[in-house]
Structure 1
Amino acid sequence: MPTEASPALGAPDTWVAPLARALPALALGLLISFSQDHSAPLGLVSFGVFAVVTAAVLLAAALRADRAVRGLVLLQGIVTGLAGIAALVLPGGGIGYLVLVVSAWAIVAGALETVNGIRFRRARPAARDWLLTGALTVLLGLAFLLVPQDLRQVYEFEDKGQTISGVITADIVLVGILGAWAVIVGVQLAIATVTLRPVRAARSAEAAA
């Protein structure tokens, strides 16, 4: 059965890693939320930048992690980096390419993080956050697969005597889902930062004693 190790600063068990992951996630969510352009190119470019930055955080955390968790975190970082590069090299790939890149990344990377959360749920305080983040990421991938790529819904309504109309398309829905996921995960990781910091301080005090 896995035993709890005393992780180095920056390892996935400490508050530094979730904080470093929360920042790009929140930046992605806010960018999409305040952008009027919810097109596939925006989704690919913004996701690509987010994924590359997150991959760097995961790889750095894996190098500082103990052997028990290093493998899956390292693999998660590699998968995330490849997804980010794939999104950035073909920003004009269209809605189908956006679905392919994001859904494949979300299901694989989310599953890896979920597995780590399940394995260490009784041994490491960070495991519950890995489990929650992984599950939310897998749900993102499934949501991307469930939205029809040819979705086109015309809407029209009256507001204060004016007729407002428009069209809801698949890229608008998918990029919006990506932004909502990023905000939720970013907030969840920020909360993890707050909850893990006292744990790190307690371990340091025990080590000093």
Structure 2
Amino acid sequence: MPTEASPALGAPDTWVAPLARAVPALVLGLVVTFSQDHSARLGLVGFGVFAVVTAAVLLASGLRADRGLRGVVLIQGVVTAAAGIAALVLPGGGIGYLVSVVSAWAIIAGALETVDGIRFRRTRPAARDWLVTGVLTVALGLAFLLVPQTFADPYSVEDKGQTISGTVTADILLVGILGAWAVLVGVQLAIAAVTLRTPRPAEAKAVGA
């Protein structure tokens, strides 16, 4: 189990780790949301920066974890770092490369986090949050695999007598899904950090005793 110093060190089952992971996720979500360029390049660069920062958090957190958690968290950090570097090394890789990198990372990293959530669901307060984050991440990977890379959906909208038309392509849709996932996971991790930071009634009595 974590030592008394764990909260300051940012072990994965303290409030520091989810807060540190929430920040890059929310930044990615906001960048995608407010960007007019939903190209595969934006997706690769945005995801790459997010993944590298998140990997640093996971690796630092894993090194400070107890033996029950350390192995899986470190593997998750290595996988995330590899995916981030792969995305940044070839930002012009196109939609197929974006799908390959993000889907592979999401399914592997999400599955690892889901496993930890299931393993420790009865012994660690953070396990429920790991489970939610893991399932959402696996769902992201499956969504990337299910959307056809040739997807194209023309649209036409009448606005004050003017016709606005265009086409929603696969890269626009997938980068949008990535941004929505990032916002959802970022908010969920921020809530998890607040929940873990706030002492439960039994803990509060123990501190005051």
Give the SS at the match of 1:164.
strand
2:180 paired with 1:175: no
* SS class of match (2:166): strand
Q: Secondary structure at the match of 2:56?
A: helix
Name the counterpart of 1:30.
Answer: 30
2:145 is aligned with 1:145 = yes
Gap regions ≥5 residues in structure 1: none
Aligned to 1:191: 191
Q: Does the C-alpha gap of structure 1 residues 203 and 64 become closer, same or farther in structure 2, counting only changes over 3 Å?
A: farther
SS in 2 for 1:14: coil
Asked whether the equivalents of residues 6 and 203 of structure 1 are also in contact (C-alpha less than 8 Å), the reply is no
* Structure 1 residue 5 displacement after superposition: 4.0
Between the aligned partners of 1:69 and 1:185, the Cα distance in structure 2 is 21
Equivalent residue number for residue 82 of structure 2: 82
Provide the residue aligned with 2:57 in structure 1: 57
In 2, distance between residues paired with 1:24 and 1:174? 19
1:97 partnered with 2:85: no
The corresponding residue for 1:108 is 108
Provide the rounded CA distance (Å) in 2 between the counterparts of 1:201 and 1:69: 26
Residue 129 of structure 2 is matched in structure 1 by 129
Alpha-carbon distance, 1:206 to partner: 4.7
Letter in 2 for 1:181: W
For 2:116, what is the secondary structure of its paired residue?
Answer: helix
* Unaligned 5+ runs, structure 2: none
> Matches of 2:200 and 2:64 in 1, distance apart?
15
Cα displacement (A) at 1:157: 2.2
Deviation per CA, 1:118-144, whole angstroms, max 9, x where unpaired?
000000000000000000000000000
| Distance change (3 Å), C-alpha of 1:48 and 1:205 | farther
Aligned residues: 206
Distance apart, 1:201 and its partner CA: 11
Q: Contact 2:2–2:65 at 8 Å: present in 1 too?
A: no
Q: Which amino acid aligns with 1:91?
A: P
> Is the Cα contact below 8 Å between 1:14 and 1:200 reproduced in 2?
no
Higher mean displacement: 159-168 or 136-145: 159-168
RMSD: 1.9
User: Which residue in 2 is equivalent to 1:39?
Assistant: 39
Secondary structure in structure 1 of the residue aligned to 2:31: helix
> How does the TM-score come out when normalised to structure 1?
0.94
Determine the C-alpha separation between the residues in 2 that align with 1:17 and 1:200. 19
> What does residue 72 of structure 2 align with?
72
Q: CA deviation at 1:152?
A: 1.2
Are the aligned partners of 2:2 and 2:11 in contact in 1 as well (CA < 8 Å)?
no
CA–CA distance in 2 between the matches of 1:37 and 1:198? 39
